[in-house]
Structure 1
Amino acid sequence: METANTVEASKITLSELMLPSHSNFSGKIHGGYLLKLMDQIAFACASKYSGCYCVTASVDTVDFLNPVDVGELVTLKASVNYVGKTSMIVGIRVTSEDIRTGIIKHCNSSYFTMVAKDEQGNNANVPRLILSNMNEVRRFYDGVNRINNKKRHKELENNFDYKSEEALKNLENFNVVLSEKIQ
């Protein structure tokens, strides 16, 4: 029997107070610490949705929009936006709140591709995704576009000849100098 789950059934929220032990030398929270929290919520979201152990296959575009300060409350919200046969794209939004003033900042948004695994470690099929509103439809198609763009980018990478005369000449447009060994 084929199963299906709603986007709502995948939603997870995680909040954590940022401590001095999470900070760098300038008193801002390490980006790596935030990435760790994002990976944890992506795992929880994908596993809750699929009913399987899940692993991170890729992380797409993490732009740090605003710094997070020690003492702020960071909240991560995640949901499954797209499902394939064995994979899911989990959308994550990170905000921070100054608990004294109540001011909330959008810190970053990211997309994690997660793959479901069975007990033997093989890829496992995931339930179909029930889309309940137009925002969920938009997010699903964003996932389709994200996958298609990755495929196109990989194809361009595979076909690019970095040794060609044209490619080497084009390096003049960048902040590089070719060693005499290359010329």
Structure 2
Amino acid sequence: MAKTKWGETASAAPAAVWALWDELKTLFPVWSLLPSSFQTPGAWGYSGVDFVSGFRRNPSTLKTFELLKDVDDALFDALSALASLNARRQDQMLQAVIIGYLTIPLSIMALLAELAGGSVMTFLKAHSEAAIQFGVGAALGPIVYFLSHWRSRQIVGVLDLIRIERGQAPFTALELREE
């Protein structure tokens, strides 16, 4: 069996998986999601019935195919399982952030407005700059986590494309699970 830069092809050693994961995740930076959502083939493909052909032509997808072209099945399966685990953890974190940053504060504000509406409005008018800063900060947290969540799901999607083109079956039932 041929060696790759990540070690023996049959081993899928933990160090090799983590090194490959580190390379893979750099292809999907969170900061670039918004700009790329206006210029990539995948973004322009969000109409009609086919959402995968444009996705397949995205620069990050093409770079991922190139990165993983010589990776054996065992290492690919380990990487795919790691990406799936990451995406499930991202799902959990996004749910916690939505509850912690949005649902609870908005519920408290609604309760305060109902109980002491005039006082709340007076307070907000008197401290409008602080209220705006708080509102922007409360909105930015969930937005950043949402972008990170989107990217984690995008990595899993690209790995699914690679798996399909390689003719590989899913590694575990966990990879097929949608929460």
Is the helix fraction higher in 1 or 2?
2
TM superposition score category, shorter chain reference: under 0.3
- The alignment's TM-score, normalised by the length of structure 2, stands at 0.25
TM-score (norm 1): 0.25
More RCO (CA 8 Å, sep 6+):
2
Larger CA Rg, structure 1 vs 2: 2
Which of the two has greater strand per residue?
Answer: 1
